[in-house]
Copies of this chain bind each other. A is one copy, B any other.
Amino acid sequence: MVKRMLNHQPSLDRVFHALADPTRRAIVERLALGQAPVSELAKPLTMSLAAVVQHIQILEQSGLVVTHKAGRVRTCRIEPRTLQAVETWIAQRRGLWERRLDRLGELLAEPAPATEAAKDTP
């Protein structure tokens, strides 16, 4: 039986999926200001507590949020390394594309419409 797997290498699938929901982003934004218990995260949200808990579980499975239960209170906080992993993935793709633009090969390869080539566009 799997009781608790501490083995959560953040898959991009899960992380992006977690961030795709506005409620979960609102939770992340709140947690960016500091850790908070579940019931406080639920306060501004117009849904049942159980629903909020489900969102938090998704955030936790994605590795974006870490929680710790003390007594009857579960405290949530952000895991910045997961956030950083996403940031890095995006930055790398954007960097690739922009370095590609420096080469200028492909854009100039598109066929010009047969009339005379006017290079200057005023």
Point out residues on A near B: beta carbons under 8 Å.
3-8, 12-13, 16-17, 19-23, 25-26, 28-29, 31-35, 44-47, 70, 78, 80, 83-84, 86-87, 90-91, 93-94, 96-98, 100, 106, 110
Contact residues in B for A5 (Cβ distance below 8 Å) = 22-23, 45-46
Complex-state Cα separation, A78 to B3, whole angstroms: 26
Bound-state Cα–Cα, A5 to B52, Å: 13
Check A84–B94 contact: CB distance below 8 A: yes
- B28 A93 Cβ-Cβ under 8 A: yes
Per a CB cutoff under 8 Å, which of B16, B80, B94 touches A20?
B16
Q: Are A97 and B45 in contact, CB atoms less than 8 angstroms apart?
A: no
